[in-house]
Amino acid sequence: MSNSAESEALVRSDDPEHPANHICTLCAKFYNLGWVTGTGGGTSIRHGDKIYIAPSGVQKELMKPTDMFVMDFESREYVRKPQMHKPSACTPLFYAAFKRGAGCCIHTHSQWAVLVTLLVERDFGPDACFEIEQIEQIKGIPKGRGKVGNLGYYDRLRIPIIDNTAHEEDLTESLEAAMEKYPDAYAVLVRRHGIYVWGDNVHKAKTQCESIDYILQLAVEMKKLGLPWCAK
């Protein structure tokens, strides 16, 4: 682990887009959206060979840059580990996204995400993924890894769903399996829990998370009205 001066230098910057500052700003916004209430959820940003991670058990709207954990990407060793906080149990799941080239990963406890996982289980079975098409906001989601551009209006958005576990880190294996099964997905829903969304950079991860949450809320409302998610 770095000495105290080096450790502090990792999280102190006047640049609002420095990862330590950016995570605090994002989580405050996500709190206002109801995504990270009660200390739940989190955000992580890869910056060069470092990974910045929001701590566990801290009210996300009140976080400070000095609360951040910093991990070396290659060694997976912490180069900054605040003694007053616990590392996020989401860390291995964030890392799974970074291994696939992501620059930012967001985990929310969105109510719409939770409700959609229950609707899919009820209507299509426990092994089904969430699918929806012909919704304008789908254009906010990339086509997939290595593909140019975003999905179109007539494309079908597919988001895999994995089962929840008693401990968050135990989700890692099933999350990685879902990533392999659905290589074009930029999100994974966790049944009765929430969602993980990642993007090539912070801007893309944020806009994709917003677009997906809009779609999930719309999907819940469509079910109430008896409207199908996909054309038969």
- Binding site per annotation, positions for substrate: 90
61 is catalytic: no
- Contact, 134 vs 68, CB < 8 A? no
Mark the binding-site residues for Zn(2+), compressed into ranges: 107, 109, 193
Mark the binding-site residues, compressed into ranges: 90, 107, 109, 193
Q: Could you say which of 136, 168, 180, 221 is catalytic?
A: 136
Q: Which residues are catalytic?
A: 136
